[in-house]
Amino acid sequence: MASAAPLYETYNRVPLRFERGEGVWLITDKGERYLDFGAGIAVSSLGHSHPHLVDALTGQAEKLWHLSNLYEIPGQERLAARLVEVTFADKAFFTNSGAEALECAIKTARRHFYINGEPERIGIVTMEGAFHGRTLATIAAGGQAKYLEGFGPKAPGFDQVPFGDLDALEAAVTDKTAGVLIEPVQGEGGIRPIDPEVLRKIRKICDDKGALLILDEVQSGVGRTGRLFAHEWAGITPDIMAVAKGIGAGFPFGVCLATASAADGMTAGTHGTTYGGNPLAMAVGNAVLDVILEDGFLDHLGDVANALSQGLVSLKDRFPDLIEDVRGKGLMLGIKCAKSNMEVVQAFRAENLLTVPAGDNVVRLLPPLNLTADEAREGLKRMEAGLEKLTRG
Ligand SMILES: *Cc1c(COP(=O)(O)O)cnc(C)c1O
């Protein structure tokens, strides 16, 4: 007999049913409007139903949905060329998700050493608190017991060092290490930015020891922190980088970017995907870049983000019993709570404001990147109301 709930019970879902989205707003089947400061989880980078993205997707849908990677796909070539133009990278491989972009990144690093006479260099060093996805390799990379438990042996070759601990990292990188894999700002881990100076030192450790630097910018990338990619704040470049979430703005896709040298082992037949780089995804990705690369877009984001974070700091001063700290960069902000972060998320939701919980007792604010100053103020007003009610109990 079928059980009552046909879905896997892997999510504790909030009983809200959203039917439509308009910009930063989500509208339920009952017509209630919620201010969306989660944007999926940093996914809907241009809000909901952005007209330029809707045009791009529907225009492509009328022409051609799918092509195998057996054939040339012009949308892929165009998007890859544009990404190469604005980043450190020379090469791109398109995937369907963030975890797959990480899988490609890990395979790229190992294969580089394999074909260059160092097949024993397979190790990947990551940081505690990291999140790199839910595939068997990426849960091993994240190293968190809660995601590994019960899923068989942890994939070999992944070692974690404490967050930001340079001595431990230096000791962990050996002549068996293919790469150091880190998020410039840990997302799921609780909006924990790596200090730019630490990131520069990690780059140097990799260079000194001949290992590759792999960045996971699945959450922090595509303008989220106010630069196109978060590592730009530190003035360094990686050898390989995984990107997803914001690049598709809600259409599921990711991309692994690499230098020509790092990607030298990824020759014909070594890797592949059925759907990765699908024409629909590429149409959306190119449209997302049209908007985000527009002159002044990131400057405006920075201004709105500054106003939002200043407002949060004022809230922290007013509610020291609820807010311990405000951190993050651009529109990737975290409120470190003094009470349970789940209670704070609920209090905000009671004010029709959506936020996302994270590790380290943090509430994440990841609004659409085209948030206006008025919308930021509206969000702050709702947070203030929620915190006031929590204080009164
Ligand atoms: C979301 C996320 C992933 C995994 O992406 P999926 O699309 O869920 O596979 C990997 N790394 C980081 C930093 C993420 O935030």
218 annotated ligand binder: yes
> Is pLDDT of 370 > 70?
yes
**What class has domain 64-292?**
alpha beta
Flag whether 274 is marked binding.
yes
CATH of 296-370+379-393, one of 3.40.50.2300, 3.40.30.120, 3.90.1150.10, 3.30.420.40: 3.90.1150.10
Cβ 159 under 6 angstroms from ligand 1: no
Q: Is 223 in the pocket of ligand 1 (CB under 6 A)?
A: no
Instruction: Write out the chain in H/E/C secondary structure.
Output: CCCCCCCCCCCCCCCCCEEEEEECEEEECCCCEEEECCHHHHCCCCCECCHHHHHHHHHHHHHCCCCCCCCCCHHHHHHHHHHHHHCCCCEEEEECCHHHHHHHHHHHHHHHHHHCCCCCCCEEEEECCCCCCCCHHHHHHHCCHHHHCCCCCCCCCEEEECCCCHHHHHHHCCCCEEEEEECCEECCCCCEECCHHHHHHHHHHHHHHCCEEEEECCCCCCCCCCCCCHHHHHCCCCCEEEECHHHCCCCCCEEEEECCCCCCCCCCCCCCCCCCCCHHHHHHHHHHHHHHCCCCHHHHHHHHHHHHHHHHHHHHHHCCCCEEEEEEECCEEEEEECCCHHHHHHHHHHCCEECEEECCCEEEECCCCCCCHHHHHHHHHHHHHHHHHHHHC
CA of 97 to the centre of ligand 1 (A): 7
Mean pLDDT confidence for 249-263: 98
pLDDT, residue 4, reads 78
Is pLDDT above 70 for 196?
A: yes
Cβ of 132 closer than 6 Å to ligand 1, yes or no, is yes
Predicted confidence band of residue 2 (pLDDT cuts 50, 70, 90): low
Say if ligand 1 is within 6 A of residue 126 CB: no
Percentage above 70 pLDDT, the chain: 99
For residue 133, give the ligand 1 atom closest to its CA: 4
217 is in an annotated binding site: yes
Task: Write down the pLDDT at residue 393.
Answer: 77
Question: What does pTM read for this prediction?
Answer: 0.98
The percent of residues in the chain predicted with pLDDT above 90, rounded, is 98
Q: What pLDDT digit, counting tens, does each position of 19-32 carry?
A: 999 999 999 999 99
Average pLDDT estimate for 214-237: 98
Ligand 1 pocket mutation, candidates 245, 273, 362, 366, criterion most atoms within 8 A of CB: 245
Atom of ligand 1 nearest to the CA of 216: 13
| Cβ pair 110, 177 in contact under 8 A | no
Confirm or reject: Cβ of 189 under 6 Å from ligand 1: no
Question: Given pLDDT bands bounded at 50, 70 and 90, which one contains residue 3?
Answer: low
Q: What is the pLDDT of residues 325-338, one digit of tens each?
A: 999 999 999 999 99
pLDDT, mean over the chain? 97
Question: Does residue 1 register a pLDDT over 60?
Answer: no
With a 6 Å cutoff on the Cβ, whether 103 touches ligand 1 is no
pLDDT tens-place string over residues 120-155: 999 999 999 999 999 999 999 999 999 999 999 999
Counting atoms of ligand 1 from 1, which one is nearest the CA of 102? 10
Say yes or no: CB of residue 244 within 6 Å of ligand 1.
yes
Cα of 100 vs centre of ligand 1, distance in Å, is 9
Domain ranges of the chain: 64-292, 296-370+379-393
